[in-house]
Amino acid sequence: MSLQRNIPMVALRGMTVLPEMVVHFDVSREVSIEAIQAAMEEEGQKIFLATQKDIDIEEPDFDSVYPIGTVASIKQIIKLPKNYLRVLVSGEKRAQLDGLEYNKPYLRANITELEDINRIEETFGESENNLNVNAMCRGLKEIYIEYIKRHPKYPKDMLRQINDCSELPKLIDTISANVPLDYKDLQEILGETDVLNRYDLLTFKIINEMQIMDIKEEIQAKVKERVDKHQRDYILREQLKQIREELGEENTISDAEEFMEKTNELTASDEVKEKLQKEIGRFKSSMNSPAESGVIRTYIETMLEMPWDKVAEDSEDIAFAKEILDKEHYGLEKVKERVLEFLAVRALTKKGDSPILCLVGPPGTGKTSIAKSLAKALQKPYVRISLGGVRDEAEIRGHRKTYVGAMPGRIANGLKSAGVKNPLMLLDEIDKVSNDYKGDTFSALLEVLDSEQNVKFRDHYLEVPIDLSEVLFVTTANSLQTIPRPLLDRMEVIEISSYTENEKLHIAMEHLIPKQLEKNGIKPEQLSISKGAVWKMARNYTKEAGVRQLERKIGDICRKAAREILESGLSEKKKIRVTETNLHKYLGKEKYSYEMANLTDEVGIVRGLAWTSVGGDTLQIEVNVMPGKGEVILTGQLGDVMKESARTGISYIRSVGQLYHIEDDFFAKHDIHIHIPEGAVPKDGPSAGITMATAMLSAVTEHKVRADVAMTGEITLRGRVLPIGGLKEKLLAAKDAGMKTVLIPEKNVRDVEELSSEITKGLEIIPVSKMEEVLKVAFVS
């Protein structure tokens, strides 16, 4: 008895689903997606699948689909991008389409399920029924086995499933579902409800397919017999080889073949290989032009040496990285912390953008050497590119290969020398880059150091994109002033400040002295340098933020000790000891002395704090008041900003003159002379504002200023104290000069909290926000 049903329908384009077929297909039309979703909400999750007669029809109706289709169960739905659905269905029953109940928002079909017409008993008689069915099943199986022998990729479990099947209707449907026939042939099989007719139809189509394959193989065999391509190629190559030898062009052909072999072995994208193959073709045809041939040869060799998709395995051993960084560098905590964070993220996610770090600090603080240690800690190849004085954009992007002597840019060359696409690349002295008429080098670096753009960095010479996204870039600079803002914005800036004397002591004892002993061929048991000697060298023989000069002084001691060992014939048992007392014997007289705090409180003399490129320093500001016409004299090679600070301080003092009993006509009848010693040294900046104001008020009111107080801060017209920079170096200078109390702007308190106790120990640091607070502490009560 036929079953009538009303279920959602999908019109298929270019495919037919049969009973016993498990298949997936993608749907994108809105009506099809709605039909799938409606079927999922109904009991049994049934869908009627009918094939379109014309695949180009976008809105199918009753007349545009074949009348016989398949009722299928939906097994799985996967959502794909762009609003596509991938549907897995299992075909179950043939059904006839009686009509469409409606076609919006989806097709809903009235169908009648069709039962197979089984005429076997009627045709062969009841007694012979089983024998004939077995014979038909066996015959169909043998035909199918013969067919799949010609398709070795067919799964073996499919053959097992066919052999186990003994019901003729099910066997016909199962084989139909697994033979790659055209959808129109499958529709013809689907539309046949008579089992015997369906058997004949399927058998005919499989045998027909095998005959086509036989004819195809026969044609191929005849073609192969007529022209044996390999033999023909061999003969032609031998003849060509003889001709080349006569012309003296044998090397070019062998080189081209070698280039082609290397291209095929290259781990690179299709775009790179296509470019290489094209250039090798040009190389073959350029044999009559040695100049052009040489240019193309150089280009091909460069391309083959590039590490296109060759990657160094990333290390995820955080403990090893930390051990290396701590072993080779003392301090530099922020740099170490950032690299270990990057390693941790990479270990957890197995990916992550490589950071672009910019290490900024004074010379000699270890910026370049820490980059080398980072590469060692991360187990990456290390490439250093010095950008100091580079002024041509082509140094970064390369020259176009049409120019004579063209070559890739420094970035591409760095990758080539590293041999992998993910090295650590140090761009040294990025602040020393300059520009001229040949282009803006900083602008060329924008693409290199932008993680969003450097995935397809294009070198003018190579002419194909290079992926720089996996390169760990580290840049170094002494100052950020010359780096353009857009480039600075792309980098993660880490400031490396001056070393304290204690840090210099540790670095010298743990790193510099062993390095110089080894360099000068001296054993540790032959020479010892005491901590006191190192301390004195750092204070009185060098004046720097880093440790370069200190290393040179240690080298001087080692060289003199080496000479002494050889000339005196000292045995290994006798040791040369360099101490604080005999240091002058090796290094001569002291070169630097700190201007210590004054012993007595004086009028008009105040100690200020300054930041220099070699660390902090103290400035003794002196003010004299003398009869005159109200002039302000500024000496000591002061910059414009510093002069403006002095005038701001005078304006403030005049505004509060009544509070300090200053006569109204005092400034009209007196000249004020402000002088900062060491007149040969240029001085500038606003941070001496409160120092100059205090010194001037002291001189005008004849109040003494405490000799053990140092101060720094910018002053406003209303007497407010504004924040300053370089606080660490300034506090170090105050401590070295023997100051007891330091006045700093209140807004710089957060900077003090980040400093180590080594710097702040022994100093009374008082935050101030107004000049009244400064004067209250500074003036002797």
User: Cβ of 639: how many Cβ atoms within 10 Å?
Assistant: 13
C-alpha to C-alpha distance for 476 and 371, rounded to whole angstroms: 9
Cis peptide before 723 (omega within 30 of 0): no
Which ranges constitute the DSSP H helices of 266-332?
Answer: 270-285, 290-305, 318-328
Query: Hey, is 409 helix, strand or coil?
Result: coil
- Please report, as a single letter, which amino acid is at residue 451: S
Stated length of the chain: 781
Check if 645 is active-site.
no
190 Cβ partners below 8 Å, 6+ apart?
16, 18, 66, 68, 69, 70, 94
Check if 730 is active-site.
yes
C-alpha to C-alpha distance for 267 and 271, rounded to whole angstroms: 12
Pick from 53, 72, 73: which is nearest to 11 by CA?
Answer: 53
Q: How far from chain centre, in Å, is Cα 135? A: 69
User: Cβ of 263: how many Cβ atoms within 10 Å?
Assistant: 20
Between strands 721-722 and 714-715, the pairing is antiparallel
Between strands 602-603 and 472-477, the pairing is unpaired
In order, the DSSP letters of 48-78 are: EEEEBSSTT-SS--GGGB-SEEEEEEEEEEE
C-alpha to C-alpha distance for 396 and 393, rounded to whole angstroms: 6
| Bridge partner list, 710 | 607, 742
Between strands 615-627 and 605-612, the pairing is antiparallel
Backbone phi, psi, residue 768, to 5°? -130, 150
Tokens standing for residue 464 = 């194909």
CB 31 within 8 A of CB 104: yes
- Catalytic one of 205, 504, 683, 730: 730
CB 607 within 8 A of CB 648: no
- Catalytic one of 645, 687, 728, 735: 687
CB 552 within 8 A of CB 517: no
Catalytic residues: 687, 730
